[in-house]
Amino acid sequence: MIKCIAIDDEPLALRQITGYIKKTPYLELAAECENALAAIKTLDNTHVDLMYVDINMPDLSGMDFVKSLDHPPKIIFTTAYHDYALDGFRVDALGYLLKPISYPEFLKASNKAKNYFETNAQKKIITDGISHSLFVKSGYKSVRINLDDISYIEGMREYVRIHITDGKPLMPLISLRTLEKELPSSMFMRVHRSYIVNLVKIQSFDNSGITIDDKTVIPVSDQYKDAFLKYIRSHSLE
């Protein structure tokens, strides 16, 4: 999920942007701020990936606010004026929305942001054959995961949930298909359009599915059943 904040001094405009964020599946609203000063406080206490920032605000404009940040999140600017687009791109904004903003326009700009984060996440996946691990992008940092510690991976539309044995799941913004390509096929297998399992973690298998770590049951879809049964037969004493 992409964690967002919306910043606008106009209550109706702020309500519109927050409403758009809430209805977009891959966006998560972290906060809504009526001015840039409130946004600064939010950034001090909350991880934020993306900001929707109104340029024309009192006390501190959206443009000056962004320029004041040492390491700003990615930006999509909103404004009622045409004249700020060039300045917006000078501060590396991902998009520029002219009020009144329709949802299709909002979605187009947000999709561009999603593509940016997905591409960035893919670049951060590095399989390390020596240490048997990989790095995934989580927030502002890349986190090393030992492959042996992964129980299974769950596809969640725009991101994945990597379930770690005795640990909190990680949720990088990347597709299950992309991650599958980076995992060793000798250790991991796709068994469903939404699941990849660590073969070492399988405790049992029956008609209800695969039991992982004696507690989680993973379904096996018809599309992947033949390959999975072949694996089971090759590791069976029968």
Decide: 104 and 113 in contact? Cβ < 8 Å.
Answer: no
Residues with Cβ within 8 Å of 3's Cβ and at least 6 positions away in sequence, in order, are 28, 30, 46, 47, 48, 49, 50
Cβ atoms within 10 Å of 70's Cβ, excluding its own: 4
Using pLDDT thresholds of 50, 70 and 90, give the confidence band for residue 122: low
Residue 129 has pLDDT above 50, yes or no: no
CA-to-CA separations, 176 to 118, 152, 162, 202, 223, in angstroms, rounded: 12, 11, 10, 20, 16
According to CATH, what is the number of the domain 125-234?
Answer: 2.40.50.1020
Task: Provide the token pair at 151.
Answer: 């129980």
Question: Across the strands, what pairs with 74?
Answer: 50
Percentage of the chain with pLDDT > 70?
88
pLDDT band at 237 (very low <50, low <70, confident <90, very high): low
H helices of the chain, in order, are 11-23, 36-45, 62-68, 85-90, 103-123, 176-182, 222-234
Q: What angle do CA 34, 39, 43 make, to 5 degrees?
A: 155
In angstroms, rounded to a whole number, what is the distance separating the alpha carbons of residues 169 and 152?
Answer: 10
Range with the poorest average pLDDT among 51-55, 69-73, 87-91, 216-220: 87-91
pLDDT level of residue 153 (50, 70, 90 thresholds): very high
**pLDDT surpassing 90 at residue 190:** yes
Domain boundaries, the chain: 2-121, 125-234
Task: Give the C-alpha separation, 151 to 227, whole Å.
Answer: 19
Does residue 196 contact residue 190 with C-beta atoms inside 8 Å? Answer: yes
For residue 185, the model assigns a pLDDT of 82
Q: Which superfamily, per CATH, for 2-121? A: Response regulator (3.40.50.2300)
Q: What pLDDT, on a 0 to 100 scale, did the predictor assign at position 91? A: 61
